Amino acid sequence: MLFIDSNIWCYYFDKSSVEHATIASYLDMILGKKEIVLNHFIIMELAHYLIKNLGPLVGKEKIEIFLGFPFILPTFDHALLLTSIDLLARYGPQGIGGRDATILATMKTLGIKQLVTHDKAFRKIDFIDIIDPFHD
């Protein structure tokens, strides 16, 4: 299982991004072959990015396409909230923000070790492995 950060999805759907070709090639290679995990915050962040940068019609159309992907979306419950807050307190000084803490909590709860991201702050986290298709 892989958790894929929102920045990767933004590059995938936004053909004007410098990272698009590399990220699209990587995701096209793994989609349908690996179990992909997300959380609700990733989806909302992607929706915000696409609607803001591509316009309400194109952005919403792309989000609807995205929601058709076969990904795993665990429920963000009270226990996951508490784990997120604990991880934010632990890793916040290393550059991890609130949304990032929800990613770490989801990964930790489900036993996921690999995070696909372009966010360098995650490289400091000891219990995950980072895959950055743009730099690896």
Question: In order along the chain (136 residues), what is the average pLDDT of each group of 10 residues?
Answer: 96 91 94 94 96 95 93 96 98 95 98 96 95 83
The pLDDT of residue 30: 93
Q: Name residue, tokens 């950055």.
A: 132
Report pTM: 0.93
Query: What residues does each domain of the chain span?
Result: 2-131
Report how far apart, in Å, the C-alpha atoms of 6 and of each of 47, 78, 82, 90, 115 are.
Answer: 10, 22, 22, 22, 11
CB 115 within 8 A of CB 103: yes
d(CA 89, CA 128): 17
- What is the architecture, at CATH level 2, of domain 2-131? 3-Layer(aba) Sandwich (3.40)
Model pLDDT, residue 136: 60
Q: What is the pLDDT of residue 40?
A: 95
Closest to 132 in 3D by CA, of 19, 10, 13: 19
